[in-house]
Amino acid sequence: MKKVIKISAVLMCACMAAGMAACGGGEASAGEVVVWGGAEDQTLLKQIVKEFKEANPDVTESIKVETQDAWDAQSVVAKDPDAAADVILIPHDQVGIMAQSGLLAEIRDGTAATFASDIKNNNDPKTVQQATYNGKLYGFPLTMDTYIEYYTTNIFPESLESTLLGSVDAMLGANMPNIGTSTEAAAAFGFNIGDGFYFNMGFFAVGCTLYGEDGADVNACNWNNENGMKFMQYAVKNFRQSGKKFKSDDAKNLATAVLNNRLGACISGGWEMQDTFKKATNIKYRTLPTITIDGKELPLIAFSNSKQYVVNNTSEHKGTASRLAAYITSEQNQLRYATERGYYPANKNAQKAPAVADDPFFKVIRAQLDMSVAVPIIPEISRYWEAAKALGSSVYNGSLAGDDASLQSALDKFISDLHSTL
């Protein structure tokens, strides 16, 4: 983010009156506006920025596109806000902690712009909620995502989707073929049990909540109740590394194993179709399978998130930055992110477009989004990830004993870790 060279007095007064992040129109300040995007999105983002400049000749700042992974954005900005971009892409669960730390500009309507109203009127209500912290709006929603089940038809034929592939128990009970000409049998099913983004599935399946029903109560997590114990008992029985048929690893590694017929099915995010599985003919997908507890088949329930463009609160160019963020996340450009990059859009009209609504892959993503829980936005979510990693990893590597007393103690420690100092 480059410091401002000059700014017109009229524009400065208008921005101060409307709230800097809501300022639009008028003579733009000279200087440079920097926007961040993922490495894989650079081509599309640079084209959109070029079109923005052509459509807005009054913008006199130069605009520079830089590569920055969204998942690391919060920590990068926190280290040096002045050196960060003006327009920043983040997952929505970073909104709370960044807003609390004063790193984000509030998005409001102004005399020459309707940023906040447009966001609220045009986007999926879930993404609007995910852009809001303490009643203030901070994000321009771009995409929605969750994770689903992928499988290789070379091991599990598509005809088994409604039976074997719909049940974790059935997959783990299947007779698995050897890998190639080796004597090693392929694993049946996997997900990254050491990642809190996935480990929640079983707890949500049995009715447990994280930070309460709405994800906003820092003191409300009931994973150590009777239902949580039932899932832990299931997990230590079925998700041990020693069991051979279950595999835990980084989600991308699991997807690669499925692609290469070393693993029958795995759980990973929608992004895999534009990455690991791009153009693969042996890969199919479906919503999450069930687990069987107390004789009942309970569907695993995913976490979901959205990607949002936010404006750096230290930016000297909040007006132009907000206009650019609004342009990138417009209905037209969200459709381009959908068709060119495979991301499910946040915009309600874009979701209804035939290219999205009629697409088989997006139908599965939409169905799983409807059976998901949004990652909480409160700053305290930052405590969750390491605590969940420790709990899930101890299940997989066998360091956690399987007796009830040990499981209860581990769950109680998990809850205690969530309440540690932020």
* Residue 332: CATH number of its domain: 3.40.190.10
pLDDT at 161: 82
Asked whether residue 4 is domain-assigned, the answer is no
User: Is the overall model pTM greater than 0.85, yes or no?
Assistant: yes
Q: Do 91 and 74 touch, CB atoms closer than 8 A? A: no
Give the separation between CA 193 and CA 398, rounded to whole angstroms. Answer: 13
Based on the fold, state whether residues 297 and 326 are members of the same structural domain.
no
Total number of domains constituting the chain: 2
Of 229, 231, 267, which is closest to residue 249 (Cα–Cα)? 267
Asked whether residue 2 is domain-assigned, the answer is no
pLDDT at 1: 59
Angle, CA 341 vertex, CA 339 and CA 345 arms, to 5°: 65
Based on the fold, state whether residues 347 and 212 are members of the same structural domain.
no
Asked whether residue 362 is domain-assigned, the answer is yes
Based on the fold, state whether residues 248 and 336 are members of the same structural domain.
no
Based on the fold, state whether residues 38 and 20 are members of the same structural domain.
yes
Asked whether residue 65 is domain-assigned, the answer is yes
In single-letter form, the type of residue at position 258 comes to V
Give the separation between CA 96 and CA 94, rounded to whole angstroms. Answer: 6
Based on the fold, state whether residues 32 and 123 are members of the same structural domain.
yes
Token code pair at residue 402: 């399987």
Based on the fold, state whether residues 229 and 348 are members of the same structural domain.
no
Asked whether residue 363 is domain-assigned, the answer is yes
Asked whether residue 44 is domain-assigned, the answer is yes
Based on the fold, state whether residues 340 and 387 are members of the same structural domain.
no
Of 137, 125, 135, which is closest to residue 306 (Cα–Cα)? 125
Asked whether residue 309 is domain-assigned, the answer is yes
Give the separation between CA 53 and CA 61, rounded to whole angstroms. Answer: 9
pLDDT at 163: 85
Asked whether residue 107 is domain-assigned, the answer is yes
Based on the fold, state whether residues 15 and 107 are members of the same structural domain.
yes
Based on the fold, state whether residues 139 and 195 are members of the same structural domain.
no
Based on the fold, state whether residues 316 and 337 are members of the same structural domain.
yes
Based on the fold, state whether residues 212 and 294 are members of the same structural domain.
yes
pLDDT per residue rounded down to tens, the chain (422 residues): 544 433 333 333 334 333 444 443 334 457 999 999 999 999 999 999 999 999 999 999 999 999 999 999 999 999 999 999 999 999 999 999 999 999 999 999 987 789 999 999 999 999 999 999 999 999 999 999 999 999 999 999 988 887 899 999 999 999 999 998 899 999 999 999 999 999 999 999 999 999 998 899 998 999 999 999 999 999 999 999 999 999 999 999 999 999 999 999 999 999 999 889 988 999 999 999 999 999 999 999 999 999 999 999 999 999 999 999 999 999 999 999 999 999 999 999 999 999 999 999 999 999 999 999 999 999 999 999 999 999 999 999 999 999 999 999 999 999 999 987 55
pLDDT at 422: 53
pLDDT at 421: 59
Based on the fold, state whether residues 31 and 107 are members of the same structural domain.
yes
pLDDT at 279: 87
Token code pair at residue 414: 């998990």
The range of the structural domain enclosing residue 192 comes to: 145-304+376-418
Would you say how long the chain is, in residues?
A: 422
Angle, CA 175 vertex, CA 169 and CA 181 arms, to 5°: 135
